[in-house]
């Protein structure tokens, strides 16, 4: 099991290095093909669904021209349902049927959380006229882009496609990418995985179940999540740089945010931007009121993590935090209270944000008990 993560990085590094030896016109095809072979090897069911989904998007883009909402809505619903069902399959023992590697059944539909968002982005951007019909080859280059298949970021098509024709060997970028992969692995595996998840978690008392115990677990989870996810995102961004492409950042020092809304614009940025564009803005346009729009966006953000009552309530909690922090800032401004830009004020901001984030789990579990 352990070796597969290293094989992924080794495979992608080898793919990047060998790609530069090929004539320019074959490079994009080669890299997509090598990525697809890896996904077919690791998670065949996931690779087949991604291929089928890409063909469906292609058929939609090149089908009869229509501005009706029916077809895009049907595709979005299909992709979203497949994602939710796929996750259930992935976590059930039957998943072994899809990936015959015993313990490695967890990876049966690996990457579906990320490429589903990319598929929905393609469909909705095409429907709203922000994307022209795309050639199948380019769609495959985008969807079977190895570095971002497993851990995101949810990169957008437009900046990706703009770089494809200008993909050139750049030694500096290659080394910078390699260094980013290394630092990302240290963050994710050594600090987040070993130091916090493996060592520090073992120090927590077994009976950490009361409100304070749940809070401790929640606080540790957020710290681990940051190191792991920011680290894996760095690995993906580094691998993409080695392959000659610049993709979107996923984290921008989130714990230095000014408030909770700012935090969600700095944490898993590609997902929060996706929620902003495809949930928040449409709901805002329909209702003309920001509160339901924030609520809808944060509930979708929560359910993206897991389809459960807990994450539904978690989304409501985060939305409530954003609404309250905006209300508080306005009141403070009205009273002429302005927080200075010094370390003390930053520490206060961090304490407020971190408290709200880490209190979600103990509050929900204490109030709803066994129901979540």
Partner 1 sequence: MTPMLRFLHSFFPRGFALILLALLYSALILAILITFESTEDATMLYWNG
Give least dist CB 88 to partner 1, A: 10
Please, which residue, 26 or 175, has the CB nearer to partner 1? 175
Spatial distance between the Cα atoms of 95 and 98, rounded to a whole number of angstroms: 5
Could you give the CA distance from residue 179 to residue 242 in angstroms, rounded to a whole number? 10
CB of 280: closest distance to partner 1 in angstroms?
A: 21
Query: Residue 347 CB: number of other CB atoms within 10 A?
Result: 10
First to last CA, the chain: 31
Nearer to partner 1, 136 or 186 (CB): 186
| DSSP structural state of residue 279 | I
Task: Output 10 or 210, the one with its CB closest to partner 1.
Answer: 10
Of 369, 247, 242, nearest in space to 309 by CA: 369
120 close to 80: Cβ distance less than 8 angstroms: yes
- Enumerate binding residues for partner 1 (CB under 8 A): 1-6, 8, 42, 83, 86-87, 90, 104, 106-107, 109-113, 150-151, 172, 175-176, 178-179, 182-183, 185-186, 188-190, 193-194, 197-198, 228-229, 232, 235, 305
Which two structure tokens, joined as six digits, stand for 159?
Answer: 């900046």
Among residues 28 and 46, whose Cβ is nearest to partner 1? 46
Q: How far is the CB of 191 from partner 1 (least distance, A)?
A: 10
The CA distance from 134 to 161, in Å, is: 10
State how far the Cα of 335 lies from the Cα of 351, in Å rounded to an integer. 22
CB-based contact 79:119 (threshold 8 Å): yes
We find the least distance from the C-beta atom of residue 182 to partner 1, in angstroms, to be 6
Nearest approach in angstroms of CB 235 to partner 1 is: 7
Q: Which is nearer to partner 1, 36 or 293 (CB)?
A: 36
Give least dist CB 87 to partner 1, A: 5
With respect to partner 1, which residue has the nearer C-beta, 19 or 109? 109
């Amino acid at each position: 099991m352990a070796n597969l993560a290293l094989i992924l990085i080794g495979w992608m590094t080898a793919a990047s290095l060998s790609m530069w030896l090929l004539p320019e016109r074959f490079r994009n095809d080669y890299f997509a093909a090598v990525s697809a072979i890896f996904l077919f090897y690791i998670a065949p069911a996931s690779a087949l669904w991604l291929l089928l989904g890409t063909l469906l998007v292609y058929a939609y883009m090149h089908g009869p021209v229509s501005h009706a909402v029916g077809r895009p809505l049907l595709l979005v619903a299909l992709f979203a349902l497949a994602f939710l069902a796929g996750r259930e399959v992935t976590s059930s023992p039957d998943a072994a049927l899809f990936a015959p590697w015993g313990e490695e059944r967890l990876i049966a539909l690996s990457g579906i959380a990320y490429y589903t968002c990319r598929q929905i982005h393609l469909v909705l951007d095409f429907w709203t006229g922000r994307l022209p019909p795309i050639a199948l080859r380019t769609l495959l280059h985008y969807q079977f882009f190895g570095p971002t298949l497993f851990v995101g970021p949810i990169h957008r098509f437009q900046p990706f496609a703009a770089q494809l024709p200008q993909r050139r060997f750049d030694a500096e970028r290659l080394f910078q990418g390699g260094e980013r992969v290394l630092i990302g692995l240290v963050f994710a595996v050594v600090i987040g995985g070993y130091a916090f998840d493996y060592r520090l978690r073992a120090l927590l008392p077994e009976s950490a179940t009361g409100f304070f115990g749940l809070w401790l677990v929640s606080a540790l989870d957020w710290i681990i999540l940051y190191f792991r996810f920011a680290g894996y995102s760095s690995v993906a961004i580094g691998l993409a740089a080695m392959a000659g492409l610049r993709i979107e950042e996923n984290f921008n020092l989130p714990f230095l945010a000014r408030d909770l809304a700012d935090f969600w614009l700095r944490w898993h940025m590609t997902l929060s931007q996706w929620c902003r564009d495809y949930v928040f803005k449409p709901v805002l346009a329909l209702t003309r009121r920001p509160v339901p729009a924030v609520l809808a966006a944060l509930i979708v953000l929560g359910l993206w993590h897991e389809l459960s009552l807990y994450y539904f309530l978690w989304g409501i909690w985060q939305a409530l935090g954003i609404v309250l922090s905006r209300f508080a800032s306005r009141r403070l401004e009205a009273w002429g209270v302005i927080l200075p830009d010094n370390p003390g004020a930053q520490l206060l901001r961090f304490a407020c944000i971190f408290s709200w984030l880490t209190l979600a789990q103990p509050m929900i579990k204490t109030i709803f008990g066994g129901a979540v």
